């Protein structure tokens, strides 16, 4: 293709046929959607319970909290950063809420608010440190991962003398807060957890934000080329800090769902989950290098996770197979993403 000085012709002969395919291939969630369909069909055929309402309620629930985190992590990854503290953060927020309300007698709603402020503070600190030091977020958030892990165990042991906090059921405000975060609702006589609704809502808001707003445009831009974005006036620092805070917010949401559903929390919970979030986001089409990906894709990535994890249980297989499945999914996703990126980025002179 060349640049010419004449006005564009009405119908451009250079618009060749493969364009539709090109467009489709550029949609990052296509691969994940196909994968999800495959997994769904496979376990529907291979097991009895998978395709039942009870089955769906189980695997959707499994996918929901993972999905909320995966979507937030996907936004952050599109913005060019990682957050290794995201998994531990789901425990930290639950612990703050639980300790405040069970040990100090604070109303659950107030405890949730304080816990939210704590989460947003840690998120902002993560973002600010990454931007201020210029260090890779991998290292900075590895630091906050370790720090939070230490705090979770240390403070819990100090306050309760054990490594868990329980007794949420007897706290003031538990009923009403539980209704919002941990209740179930019936669909055709089957109870579904409300976390699924949170997941769908969170995904929808993130997806609209990402492709439909200025801020979403900035997320792609700061992840794709931070300096170019800055040069045209995009507030890079603010965008990235808000993304870290969004991840922290999601961790608070998931922490709240967990503590109100299980009414107790282990101080060592959440460790290792951060990689599941990243894996789900990558399966959903996010590039590890930033600047490309999809919120919907990450939600589908989490759905694949949930379906496979529960499907393997229904099939009575050993859960070891789940790890193998994950590995294969991840590798194929990374390979597909790589091809997509090269298509989009290939330089023609």
Contact footprint for other proteins (CB under 8 A): 1-8, 12, 14-15, 19, 23, 26, 208, 211-214, 216-218, 220-221, 224-225, 227-235, 291-292, 341, 343-349
Q: How far is the CB of 230 from other proteins (least distance, A)?
A: 6
Q: Report, in Å, the least distance between residue 334 CB and other proteins.
A: 16
Choice between 104 and 227, CB closer to other proteins: 227
Question: Can you give the length of the chain in residues?
Answer: 349
Of 183 and 238, the one with the shorter C-beta distance to other proteins is: 238
For other proteins, the closer of residues 104 and 342 by Cβ is: 342
Distance CA 332, CA 323 (A): 14
How far apart (Å, rounded) are the C-alpha atoms in residues 112 and 34? Answer: 38
Number of other residues whose CB lies within 10 A of the CB of residue 8: 7
State in angstroms the smallest separation of the CB of 129 from other proteins: 21
Nearest-angstrom CA–CA distance, 325 and 217 = 34
Strand partners, 164: 266
CA distance 49 to 78: 36
The secondary element (H helix, E strand) that includes residue 164 is: strand 164-166
Question: Which residue, 17 or 349, has its beta carbon nearer to other proteins?
Answer: 349
Q: Which is nearer to other proteins, 200 or 225 (CB)?
A: 225
111 burial via Cβ count (<10 Å: 0-12, 13-18, 19+): buried
Instruction: Give Cβ neighbours of residue 63 (< 8 Å, ≥ 6 apart).
Output: 199, 302, 303, 305, 306, 307
Minimum separation from the CB atom of position 278 to other proteins (A): 19
Residue 94 or 221: which CB sits closer to other proteins? 221
Least distance to other proteins, CB of residue 67, Å: 24
CB of 291 to other proteins, least distance (A): 5
């Amino acid at each position: 293709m060349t640049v010419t000085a004449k006005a564009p012709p009405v119908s451009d002969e250079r618009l060749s046929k493969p364009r539709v395919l090109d467009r489709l291939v550029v949609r990052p969630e296509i691969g994940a959607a196909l994968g999800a369909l495959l997994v769904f069909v496979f376990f529907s055929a291979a097991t009895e319970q998978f395709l039942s309402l009870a089955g769906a309620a189980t695997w959707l629930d499994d996918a929901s909290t993972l999905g909320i985190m995966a979507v937030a992590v996907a936004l952050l990854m599109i913005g060019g950063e990682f957050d290794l503290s995201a998994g531990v953060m789901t425990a930290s927020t639950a612990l703050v809420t639980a300790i405040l309300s069970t040990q100090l007698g604070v109303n659950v709603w107030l405890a949730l608010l304080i816990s939210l402020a704590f989460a947003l503070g840690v998120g902002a600190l993560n973002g600010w440190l990454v931007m201020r030091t210029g260090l890779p977020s991998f290292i900075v958030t590895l630091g906050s991962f370790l720090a939070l892990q230490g705090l979770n165990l240390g403070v819990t042991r100090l306050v309760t003398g054990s490594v868990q906090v329980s007794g949420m059921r007897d706290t003031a405000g538990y009923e009403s807060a539980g209704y919002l975060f941990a209740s179930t609702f019936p669909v055709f006589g089957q109870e579904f957890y409300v976390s699924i609704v949170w997941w769908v809502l969170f995904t929808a808001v993130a997806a609209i934000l990402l492709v439909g707003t200025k801020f979403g445009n900035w997320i792609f831009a700061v992840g794709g080329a931070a300096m170019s974005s800055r040069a045209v006036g995009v507030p890079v620092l603010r965008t990235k800090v808000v993304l870290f805070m969004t991840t922290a917010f999601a961790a608070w949401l998931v922490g709240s769902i967990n503590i109100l559903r299980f009414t107790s929390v282990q101080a060592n919970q959440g460790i290792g989950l951060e990689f599941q979030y990243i894996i789900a986001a990558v399966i959903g089409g996010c590039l590890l290098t930033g600047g490309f990906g999809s919120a919907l894709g990450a939600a589908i990535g989490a759905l694949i996770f949930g379906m496979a994890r529960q499907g393997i249980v229904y099939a009575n297989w050993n859960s070891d197979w789940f790890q193998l499945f994950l590995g294969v999914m991840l590798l194929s996703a990374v390979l597909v993403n790589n091809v997509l990126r090269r298509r989009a980025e290939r330089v023609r002179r």
